[in-house]
Amino acid sequence: MNRSTHTYKRIGSFVELSNEKIRLSYESRLARTKLDLSLLKLGEELKPARLLGLMASRLLVPLSETIKSRLVSFFQKGSRSY
């Protein structure tokens, strides 16, 4: 990335310098806040209880489908023999 060495060339007074300092401070705080929010979201998604629930649901859905299909086939075979 080629950055110009004259990024603050537009600043011509101490008032503009002060305003730029405040702007950069707010920009920095906003970036930190976004990072903190992202870390909180990640921490919420990686909670052990949540992961256990997710894993259980991913295992139980195929298992219940298998049991359901076997029961249906069992009862269809049983109804044919009568």
Strands in the chain per DSSP E: none
Q: Please state, in angstroms and rounded to a whole number, the distance separating the CA atoms of residues 15 and 11.
A: 9
Contact 50, 44 (CB under 8 A): yes
pLDDT digits (tens, 9 = 90+) for 15-58: 988 999 999 999 999 999 999 999 999 988 888 888 888 888 88
Element (H, E) at 69: helix 48-80
Whether the CA torsion 26, 27, 28, 30 is positive or negative: it is positive
pTM here is 0.50
Element (H, E) at 74: helix 48-80
